Amino acid sequence: MKIHNHIISSAKWCPSANYNERPTADINMLVVHNISLPPDQFGGGYIEDFFCNKLDSKAHPYFKTIKDLQVSAHLLIRRDGSLVQFVPFDKRAWHAGRSEFAGQTECNDFSIGIELEGSDHIHYHECQYVALAEVTGLLLHAYPAMNAARIVGHSDIAPGRKTDPGGSFDWPKYKRLIANSPQ
C-alpha cells in the first residue's frame, strides 16, 4: 500500500463531487469517523452512493432525512478492512462540518477524514484497526505536519454535535498499532 498523487494505490477509487480546494496546503490533522447506512447496518453500496450524491431516498426511510446532504470523506474503511477513496488527500473533503480543534475552526480546511464502516455502539473489526493503522502510518509519512497528537475523533472537534467514532472504538488499541507500525 502506498500513496501516489494523494490517492492510496490499493483503494477502490470512487470519486465524489463533494470536495473543493483547500485554503491551505498545511494538512496537519486526521479525523476518525464512523458511518453506517442505514444506521447500524453494514454492507452494500449505500455509503458510496451517499458520498457520490446517488443515494436513492426511497430505498430506506432514513435516507429521506439525509437526501439533500452533500458530504464526503477522503477514505472509507469497510468492515472487511477494504478501502474506498472518494477525495484525494490534498483536496478538502466535506466530512467535519462546523468544527474546532486547538483554536482552529473549520477543520475540513486542514484535516483528512477517514470513515470506518461502523457505529458508536457496535465493536469494530480487527482488520479495520489494522487497515486504519497502516493508512495512518502512510499519512504521517506523507504529511509531516500531522502527528499522533493531531489524530482525533469527530466527537473531539464537534462536541455535543457528533459522537463518532463512539464508545466502541478502542483508541488504546489503535494507538498501539500506530506505534508498532513501520512509518
pLDDT along the chain (183 residues), means of 10: 96 98 93 98 96 97 96 98 98 96 95 98 97 97 95 96 96 94 64
Reference 2, options 135, 103, 128; nearest CA is: 135
On whether the CB atoms of residues 76 and 47 are closer than 8 A, the answer is yes
Q: What angle do CA 90, 37, 11 make, to 5 degrees?
A: 35
| pLDDT given for residue 128 in this prediction | 98
Annotation says 106 is catalytic: no
- Domain with residue 146: its CATH number is 3.40.80.10
**pTM score, two decimals?**
0.96
On whether the CB atoms of residues 33 and 113 are closer than 8 A, the answer is yes
Domain assignment of residue 157, given as a range: 3-180
Spatial separation of the C-alpha atoms in residues 52 and 39, rounded to whole Å: 18
Reference 107, options 26, 29, 32; nearest CA is: 29
On whether the CB atoms of residues 36 and 42 are closer than 8 A, the answer is yes
DSSP state of 113: E
Residue of 48, 106, 115, 117 with catalytic role? 115
Number of domains in the chain: 1
Sort strands 83-85 and 12-13 into parallel, antiparallel or unpaired.
parallel
